[in-house]
Structure 1
Amino acid sequence: MPTAIVFDIGSTLVREDRYWASWADWLEVPRHTLSALVGAVVAQGREDAEAIRLARPGVDVRAERRAREEAGQGERLDEADLYPDVRPALGALRALGIRVVVAGNQTERAGELLRALELPVDEVATSAQWGVAKPDPRFFGHVVDLAEAAPHETVYVGDYPALDIRPAKAAGLLAAHVRRGPWGHLWTHSADAAMADWCVDSLTELARVIGAARSVG
């Protein structure tokens, strides 16, 4: 029976439309061009930052991030970036007595911005904060610690099967695949996605099936 649930961030809780649009504007390339490049590298199983390097060959992505911050065009995150089902679904899960945690591959700044939104969650953590990123097993060791529950009672929820579902299952966790965002749609029929305990199209649906699983348990 699930007693803790841990959510990925990008394309699970947060839309990434504005994030990539802002990068396109910074690089001075058409937004559609960068969006298409992101899709291409994702389809090849490469990290999405490769799209930035393709748009501007030789670019130092970390240096560009610092330059954007200094120019007042750094990371932003507000209510408009959340999927509309996030607050009600997380609130519903907490109402069931489930510990709700957020942990994904993001910067420390992203973690600060998420905390400022005061979501109905118990903890927020990022890979930059921990110094290790998915799919590294050590990331999921931190997830278990933060969940404060046994692995078999902890659900990890994410959109990217290779980074979220497969390593979560390898760590002994339950896993839920949410089919949204480019990764969620592209890899929905992959072997990694098939490892999920639940496949859902929304967090509202997830809250419903987790509630049902707890009632059966």
Structure 2
Amino acid sequence: MIRAVVFDIGETLVRDGRYWGSWADWLGEPRHTVSALVGAVVAQGRDNADALRLIRPGIDVEAEYAAREAAGRGEALDETDLYPDVRPALSALYRAGVRVVIAGNQTTRVGDLLRDLDLPADLIATSGDWGCAKPDPEFFARVLAASGTLSYETVYVGDHPVNDVFPAAAAGLRTAHLRRGPWGQLWADDPDVVATADWSINGLEELVEIVTTE
């Protein structure tokens, strides 16, 4: 029986377009250029921020992030950034008595913005809140503590094999790989992903059906 579902954030619940678009605007580059470079580093298995380092070699990403915040051009997130199936799926799980947790690699600022959206979730936390990030096993230990359930009763849902599927499975959680966004689409049919994930899904409606009938 599945008693808790834990959701990744970026490209699972929230589109990343605004995030990368704002970086493009800050650096004075066309949005298409930044998107293309993000795709390139993703395909190479590199850190997302390497796209920014390609544009501006030697950039201090954390310092630039702080400068953006200070200039009033920092991270923003609202209802329009959510994928359309997010609120209905979370609501259905919540009504079914399943514990709903949102936990991903994001800043404390994003955590605050998500909490302001009043999503149907028991807990929303980010790597910035916890001081540890995926794929660190400590992050998934925190996930289990937040879920309040046993590992085999808990499903972690995400799009990224290295950050989501593989480490969650290694921690004993059940996993659902979501075919969404550049990471989810690129590795959807990867043999290791297919073999590791308990389920491969195209949308969160499929997840609701799985969880409520399991």
Gaps of 5+ in 2: none
1:36 is matched with which residue?
36
- 8 Å CA contact retained: 1:132, 1:139: yes
1:204 is matched with which residue?
205
Task: Tell me the distance in 1 between the aligned counterparts of 2:35 and 2:82.
Answer: 19
Root-mean-square deviation (Å): 0.8
Task: Tell me the distance in 1 between the aligned counterparts of 2:120 and 2:188.
Answer: 28
1:107 is matched with which residue?
107
2:159 is matched with which residue?
159
SS of match in other structure, 2:162: coil
Deviation string, structure 1 residues 15-64 (Cα, Å, up to 9, x no partner): 01111111101101111111010001111111101101111111110011
Pair 1:144 & 2:144 matched: yes
Deviation at 1:162, TM superposition (A): 1.4
Task: Tell me the distance in 1 between the aligned counterparts of 2:70 and 2:138.
Answer: 32
Deviation string, structure 1 residues 96-155 (Cα, Å, up to 9, x no partner): 110000000000111000000000000001111111111111110000000000001000
1:64 is matched with which residue?
64
Give the alignment's TM-score, normalised by structure 1.
0.96
After superposition, residues 25-104 of structure 1 pair within 5 angstroms as: 25-104=25-104
Deviation at 1:212, TM superposition (A): 1.5
Deviation at 1:192, TM superposition (A): 3.8
SS of match in other structure, 1:89: helix
Task: Tell me the distance in 2 between the aligned counterparts of 1:90 and 1:104.
Answer: 16
Task: Tell me the distance in 2 between the aligned counterparts of 1:20 and 1:192.
Answer: 29
Matched to 1:77, the amino acid is: L
After superposition, residues 163-174 of structure 1 pair within 5 angstroms as: 163-174=163-174
Gaps of 5+ in 1: none
Matched to 1:210, the amino acid is: V
| Total equivalences in the alignment | 213
Deviation at 1:7, TM superposition (A): 0.2
Give the alignment's TM-score, normalised by structure 2.
0.98
Moved over 4 A (4+): none
Pair 1:181 & 2:184 matched: no
Matched to 2:56, the amino acid is: R
SS of match in other structure, 1:72: coil
Deviation at 1:13, TM superposition (A): 0.2
What percent identity do the matched residue pairs reach? 62
SS of match in other structure, 1:29: coil
Task: Tell me the distance in 2 between the aligned counterparts of 1:49 and 1:147.
Answer: 30
Task: Tell me the distance in 2 between the aligned counterparts of 1:158 and 1:47.
Answer: 17
Pair 1:120 & 2:92 matched: no
- 8 Å CA contact retained: 1:162, 1:192: no
Deviation string, structure 1 residues 138-182 (Cα, Å, up to 9, x no partner): 110000000000001000000001110010010000000110000
Task: Tell me the distance in 2 between the aligned counterparts of 1:116 and 1:68.
Answer: 21
Task: Tell me the distance in 2 between the aligned counterparts of 1:189 and 1:132.
Answer: 29
